[in-house]
Amino acid sequence: MRDEQGYADKDQQGSAQILGCYLASGWLFFLNGYMERLKDSFHVIGKYLSFLMILWVWHIIWGMVPDDVLGGGLYSHANLVWYIAITECIIFCGGHLFYDAYMDIKSGAIEQMLMRPVSYQFRAFAQWYGKALGQLTVFFPLALLSAYLITDEWAMDAGQVALGAVMVMGALFCIVSMNYMVGMTTLWIKEASPAYWIAQKSCFLLGGLLFPITLYPDAFYNALKFSPFAAIFFLPGSAALNVLPFSVTTLIATEVFWMGALCVMSIWVHRRALAHIGKYGV
């Protein structure tokens, strides 16, 4: 009995050590991605200038639409510019993360990386999410400041800003999961870009990148409001609107659900990728 208890204690200690090593390595990968994006100042500046141009163009477009037409008078011109500031912030911080996995597969480096103690997917998630949050640290305050300077109106109170920040971080995790699945498609279709553009344009159109999906016909809105596409753009962007589509609890719960669901889907794709590499190589 003592021997069995001793073995059980050792197993628990071993499991705790493995978990500790995983968490420590994940934190290091996260920090590496976070600092890598912060250090690339020219990259951030270039993206911000593009972001500013897009925001200014939509400020002009929405300025030509009478206020009583905007969502039946529910939204103001400033609301919609601030909405776009948040949604564009998401796409600028989370775009093209799949490219790392694409290059690892095309170069064959992924086969060696799979031999390492830490899961390739775990490493990719930690590093990519670090990159996304690293850019978000700079981009989110700039996005809000830019929206204020362009509209000359502070359209979000402190609670809305906090809600928007939380929702954007959740949306970026969803984007990381989607990018990982896109990157793995390189094993089957050899070029991941087509899969990326399909996924990205679906999010743009069905998720409400440029305007809230509440402006869609009711049938489309009801079909899309709880979709993963809405969780990536519409739900975070709705923090800037005067009228929330759901309660705050429902917004956060829906975001958390899709974070988990997309992560599970990416794990399934990862296992299919491992089986493919084991059978056919890269």
Q: What is the pLDDT of residues 154-175, one digit of tens each?
A: 888 899 999 999 999 999 999 9
Of the given ranges (12-26, 194-208, 240-254, 260-274), which has the lowest mean pLDDT? 12-26
The average confidence (pLDDT) of the chain is 86
Q: What is residue 7's predicted lDDT score, i.e. its pLDDT?
A: 46
- Confirm if 150 and 81 have CB atoms less than 8 A apart: yes
Number of Cβ within 10 Å of residue 161's Cβ equals 17
Which domain does 183 fall in, by range? 2-280
Going by C-beta distance under 8 Å and a sequence separation of 6 or more, which residues neighbour residue 169?
Answer: 133, 136
Measure the CA angle with vertex 170, ends 94 and 220; round to 5°.
90
Q: What's this model's pTM, rounded to 2 decimal places?
A: 0.89
- On the question of pLDDT at 44 being above 70, the answer is yes
Amino acid found at 3: D
The structural domain count of the chain equals 1
Give residue-wise pLDDT tens across range 130-161.
Answer: 999 999 998 999 999 999 999 888 888 899 99
Question: What's the CA gap between 274 and 279, in Å, rounded?
Answer: 9
Per the CB < 8 A criterion, the answer to whether 155 and 78 are in contact is: yes
Rounded distance, CA 155 to CA 147, Å? 9
Burial of 55 (0-12, 13-18, 19+ CB in 10 A): buried
Provide the CB-side half-sphere exposure for 1 (13 A, CA): 0
